[in-house]
Amino acid sequence: MSGLAIAALLAVAAPQQPPVFGAEVGIVRVEVSVTKAGEALGGLTAEDFELRDNGRVQDVRLVLQEQAPIDAVLVLDLSFSVRGAKRTALQGAAAAFLDGLRPGERAALVSFRDDLRLLQDFTPDRSSLFAALGRTEPGGSTALRDAVYAALRLRPPSPERAVTVVFSDGVDNVSLLTAPEVVEAASHTDAVVYGIGIRQKGDPPETFLPAAVQATGGRYFEAVSDRDLRERFLDVLADIRSRYVLSYSPAETPEPGWHALSLRLKRKKGDLLVRKGYWR
């Protein structure tokens, strides 16, 4: 089943008491990636976007990147297969990502094997984060879904943009939570999920992570080798920086439940990547 189809099913299966999306009461924030022929399309203004919330056109404004710092959670696969050169490459790639954060931006590190570990809680302190990266010890199975769920619930809603970057080189073989459950949980957060996978020849296609990514309007990157990892982590950072952050106060008192979002460019052409909706 495609991620889109899963998202559609999830939209139907709404829980009784939907969570509140976003930290600021009444304000909805939506991140969107706009690309043309694979390249980020810059220079757009709020007037270029038409955003509908449950079918109603909203009056959006553009939040400047400088006013939208990020809180990033790096979720790193440290199962048995990530040892030796791959582990070193992963540490270097994650360090490059952390190096690219702006002063004041925070990150947290979660590792997973068949167990989960909070290597470092949210901090803007690079040295603590780098030290935590050094405490990684590969071994065991791959509890990918459980780890993504935990990472998504690690951070209470805050004004910062939430980004969850998940690296995995394998397929989940030990999580208790199912893929639809975690994808649904992802659609209930304000975090944008990015996935970075590295597959061996003959590996089955990874389906869970792309579905979680799609549910949040994120992006999935595939690395072809260990040496490629650093570039993919930096691709994630570049994608985060190139996104437009739109915000609006719903024109009418928002109804509780699932809010379907639809977004289009009014005057230009481009490919949009945005979450399908949010819960209020």
Partner 1 sequence: MLLLLLALAQPAEPQTPYSLESYLRLVGAYRSANRAAAVREIRAWPPATVRAAAGDVEERGLRESSASPDKIAIDTVEAAVLMHAEAGLLALREVDNEAARSHLKAAVALFSWSRQEASKLRAQREALLRVSKKDVQQRFPLPQYDVRPRIDRVRFSTALAAGALAAGQPATAQPFAEDAKQRAPSDPDVLLVFGAVAEGLAAAERTRGREDAASRWLVEARLTLATAVTHEAGPLPDPTAPAEPTSSGLEARLRLGRIALEDGRLEDARRWLEEIDARSGDSRQRHLAWLFLGRVADRQGRSDEAASFFRRALDACPTSQVTALAWAHAVERASGPRAAEPLVTRALAMPLRVASTEDPWRAYLFGPPGYAEAALARVRRETLER
Positions that interact with partner 1 (CB under 8 A): 15-20, 80, 110, 113-118, 140-141, 146, 149-150, 152-154, 156-157, 170-177, 181, 185, 188-189, 204-205, 207
CA distance 102 to 157: 20
**Closest CB to partner 1 among 41 and 148?**
148
DSSP helix, strand, coil percent of the chain (3-state; round to 5): 30, 30, 40
* Contact indicator for 1, 250 with CB cutoff of 8 Å: no
**Closest CB to partner 1 among 105 and 181?**
181
| Least spacing, CB of residue 20 vs partner 1, in Å | 7
Give the distance from CA 199 to its chain's centroid.
20
**Closest CB to partner 1 among 19 and 250?**
19
**Closest CB to partner 1 among 49 and 220?**
220
Q: Within 10 Å of residue 38's Cβ, how many Cβ atoms? A: 6
| Least spacing, CB of residue 19 vs partner 1, in Å | 4
| Least spacing, CB of residue 146 vs partner 1, in Å | 5
**Closest CB to partner 1 among 50 and 222?**
222
* Contact indicator for 141, 147 with CB cutoff of 8 Å: no
| Least spacing, CB of residue 121 vs partner 1, in Å | 9
State the pairing for strand pair 192-198/220-223: parallel
Residues 6+ apart with CB under 8 A from 189: 152, 153, 162, 216
Length of the chain (residues): 280
Record the tokens describing residue 262, joined without a space.
């639809």
CA distance 168 to 146: 13
| Least spacing, CB of residue 170 vs partner 1, in Å | 8
**Closest CB to partner 1 among 117 and 243?**
117
| Least spacing, CB of residue 140 vs partner 1, in Å | 5
**Closest CB to partner 1 among 96 and 177?**
177
- Burial pattern 199-217, b for ≥16 Cβ within 10 A else e, equals beeeeeebebbbbbbbbbb
| Least spacing, CB of residue 7 vs partner 1, in Å | 17
CA distance 274 to 162: 14
State the pairing for strand pair 116-123/106-112: antiparallel
